[in-house]
Amino acid sequence: MEQVDEQEGRDASAMAVDDPWYDATASGRGEEAGGAPGGGRPDAVPRQRVHSTAEIYLEVQRSPAFQEVRGRYRRFVFPATLAFLLWYLAYVVAATAAPGLMARPVAGAVNVAMVAGLGQFLTTFLLTWAYARHARLRRDRAALELRWDTQEMTRGVVQP
Amino acid sequence: MTGDHQTLALVLFSAFVAVTLGITTWVSRHRQGSAEEFYAGGRLFSPLENGFAIAGDYMSAASFLGISGLIALYGYDGMLYSVGFLVAWLVVLLLVAELVRNCGRFTLADVVAARMAERPVRIAAGTSSVAVSVLYLVAQMVGAGSLVALLLGGSSEAARSWTVVGVGALMVIYVSLGGMRATTWIQIVKAVLLMAGTIALTVLVLLRFHGDVNSLLSTAAERSGHGMDFLAPGLRYGGDWTARLDFISLGLALVLGTAGLPHILSRFYTVPTARAARRSVVWSIGLIGSFYLMTIVLGFGAAALIGPGEVRASNASGNTAVPLLALDLGGGAGSTGGTVLFAIVAAVAFATILAVVAGITLASSASVAHDLYSSLRRRHAKQYSEVTVARVAAAGIGAAAIGLGLLARDLNVAFLVGLAFAVAASANLPVLLYSLFWRKFTTRGAVWSVYGGLIPAVLLVLVSPVVSGGPESLFPGVDFHLFPLQNPGVVSIPLGFLAGWIGTVTSPEPPDEARHAETEVRALTGAGAA
């Protein structure tokens, strides 16, 4: 972990003088993440010694922990958005272009259109529940850890 | 409508105004005058409170009276609106709420400016936010004027004008004195009143039919004179293919516009974290969804118990269906129950309008002060604090809305709302989604996507049958309409996305990788969030 390239090493040694607290945290965590990539805390951002907030954010963005959070988020919301938009468009187009189909009775006074309309309400409620659950169980904890890590790294960095 | 209704309704109106003014005074006693306090209410509202406030911000009188009225007149076709208004919240929940909470401070432009050249982007996003807000505000003011006049029986021009002026003055007082904190509490109170009123009426309708929804629907269909066609789409938007395409255009604007409404986006800044923003949207989806489900019952209930003929005789666009239904459910005209229920419905509708206009005024004053004033101010001019500018801007926007509301008082309210949604979906949504999700997005792309959505949307409306060439147009005498649809969404929304893409790929400067990294990390983790 200490064998970072020369540029960053030089910057980091300058940092250490400016901010010993930052340095202590960074090297401590850095050993943990760098020394045991599989066995240590898997979410930790591998710390390299960086000197500006821009570099810190780039660093965090490239870290596997962040990629994992982003992947989990995108793998849920992109397909889900596509699905509900298509289902809604299909509903609107069917209501305007195929009223005959929509008027077909299902049970009593209830017809296909009524079932489809209430189905839109139902799928909206279900997807809301599923998204909230997914975010709570699969994303919140990892995102919060990244947040503290990132804020810890950016604390004490002089804004350019 | 008899004198009793009016007196009781006026008493309830005054009570609501007194309560809201009390809230405003109470809140402004503890005012610190910081921007954080004025625009975001200190960011310490709970998800439950914010969920109610979002619902109170979103459910306008157009929803409460307009959609039920459309269902009472046209049956199923009225329901299409409710579905669009609800599904739109999935876009907000999945793609926008949390990320916007994490990246921005007060406005939409904050999110975009985080990774772009600040000045041009702020001017563009600020302009489109103000445009959307003013359109939406005018719609609400016009609605307020005709509604209150209608409910109080005085359909004279003077009564309508004074209502518009009164509503405008009240909203300026709420916003410039109480800021976001007062606005939020007014919206919460309104949401509770609206939900309670709607639940009570729905229960009464269902009791009348002994809980048998099937018999409610059959009675409505029978009484409508259209038979089972009343329960299927096509009565209102059937017609020729232009009318059908127009409806698809409206549907698209409704579902994509909500996520671009500035007054909705600014609500996410009133909670401390992205998680709280998510939980408030979950609350509001629950509230808004159950509200729209109940308006369906009320609409069909009005069709079954009052009949579309009588509703249309009272008001051609159906806005009085729910008040008439309340009168009938309470025991009919002249009875005490009917009088009380009618007055309550009228007061709830009035509360609804006040809460919605306050939210929009606050959001647009934030855009003026935080985005436009700070970017356009001359460098050596005298500096005023941003909150002072925002308070003055609220008064200016109030005056503008009163003026436009008086000018546009004969325009159809539903059309104005549809137009505001179309502009929000064309100008605000593309730039927001590109900023949050597209790595290569550049400043030029951002500016082009805002103007590329805003300008076509406005131009297409100017050359649409809404403005000229039809009997119901703004200028019925002349005809310069070139575009067949009333709602520009189906053309202008893709144009907004396209312009953003073209602007980005033709951009001479490369995208700023570091600031994109910062935006992405902050959006998804909340690091460094305000």
Interatomic CA distance for residues B169 and B96, integer angstroms = 33
Q: What angle do CA A126, A130, A132 make, to 5 degrees?
A: 115
CA distance B464 to B481: 5
Cα separation of B228 and A110, whole Å?
10
Task: Give the number of other CB atoms < 10 A from CB of residue B376.
Answer: 12
Q: Tell whether the model's pLDDT for residue A28 goes beyond 80.
A: no
| Percentage of chain B modeled with pLDDT above 70 | 95
Least confident residue range of A141-155, B30-44, B486-500: B30-44
Of the candidates B318, B320, B326, B328, the residue with the CA atom closest to the CA atom of residue B342: B326
Helix axes B429-437, B489-505, angle to 10 degrees: 40
Above pLDDT 70, what percent of chain A? 65
Q: Answer yes or no: is pLDDT of B248 > 70.
A: yes
Q: Look at residue B483 in the predicted model and tell me its pLDDT.
A: 87
Highest mean pLDDT among A22-36, A47-61, A116-130: A116-130
Interface of B with A in 270-299 (CB under 8 A): 275, 278-279, 281-282, 285-286, 289, 292-293
- Chain-chain contact of B285 with A96 (C-beta, under 8 angstroms): no
Chain A contact for B76, CB < 8 A?
Answer: yes
Q: What is the mean pLDDT of residues B374-400?
A: 84
- At residue B487 the predicted structure's pLDDT band, cuts being 50, 70 and 90, is confident
Residue A40 near residue A1, CB atoms below 8 Å? no
Which residues on adjacent β-strands are paired with residue B475?
Answer: B468
- Which fold is adopted by the domain B3-234+273-412? Sodium/glucose cotransporter (1.20.1730)
Q: What is the mean pLDDT of residues B35-45?
A: 88
B91 touches chain A (CB under 8 A): yes
pLDDT-derived band at B311, boundaries 50, 70, 90: confident
* CB spacing of B521 vs A146 below 8 angstroms: yes
Which residue did the predictor score with more confidence, A27 or B254?
B254
When mean pLDDT is compared across A9-23, B43-57, B159-173, B219-233, the lowest value belongs to A9-23
**CA–CA distance, B144 with B53 (Å, rounded to integer):** 20
Q: A130 or B408: whose pLDDT is higher?
A: A130
- Are residues B76 and A144, on separate chains, in Cβ contact within 8 Å? no
Asked if residue B424 has pLDDT above 70, the reply is: yes
**pLDDT at position B227, please?**
83
3-state secondary structure of B507: coil
* Packing angle of the helix pair B118-151, B386-407 (nearest 10 deg): 50
pLDDT in tens, B76-112: 988 888 999 999 999 999 999 999 999 988 999 999 9
The whole-angstrom separation of Cα B111 and Cα B99 is 9
Dihedral pair phi/psi, residue A6, rounded to 5°: -60, -45
* Closest to A119 measured CA to CA, from A69, A149, A84: A84
User: A90 CA to chain B: closest CA distance, Å?
Assistant: 10
* pLDDT reading at B290 higher than 90: yes
Q: What is the pLDDT of residue B32?
A: 65
Give exposure, B265-277, as e/b (b: 16+ Cβ within 10 Å): bbbbbbbbbbbbb
Q: Which two tokens stand for residue B486?
A: 């009333």
For the ranges A64-73, A81-90, B203-212, B467-476, the lowest mean pLDDT is seen at B467-476
Q: Residue B373 is which amino acid?
A: Y
Confidence of residue B381 (pLDDT cuts 50, 70, 90): low
Nearest alpha carbon to residue B131 among B513, B494, B510, B492: B492
Q: What average pLDDT does range B426-449 have in this prediction? A: 94
Nearest chain B Cα distance for residue A25, angstroms: 17
Q: What is the pLDDT confidence band of residue A26, given thresholds at 50, 70 and 90?
A: very low
Asked if A95 reaches chain B (Cβ–Cβ under 8 Å), the answer is: yes
| pLDDT (0 to 100) of residue A45 | 56
Give the SS3 label for residue A107.
strand
The model's pTM: 0.88
B157, two tokens: 């021009």
CB–CB contact A120 B83 (8 Å): yes
Minimal C-alpha gap between A85 and chain B (Å): 9
Contact A147, B525 (CB under 8 A): yes
pLDDT at position A46 is: 53
What type of residue is A23? D
Q: Say if CB B93 and CB B281 are below 8 A apart.
A: yes
What CA–CA distance (Å, rounded) separates B311 from B224? 11
For tokens 């965090």, name the residue.
A60
What ipTM describes this predicted complex? 0.92
Q: What is the mean pLDDT of residues B18-44?
A: 83
In this predicted structure, the answer to whether residue B412 has a pLDDT above a threshold of 70 is: no
pLDDT greater at residue B384 or residue B75: B75
Structural contact between residues B525 and A151, judged by C-beta atoms closer than 8 angstroms = no
Per residue in B170-191, pLDDT (tens digit) is 989 988 888 899 999 999 999 9
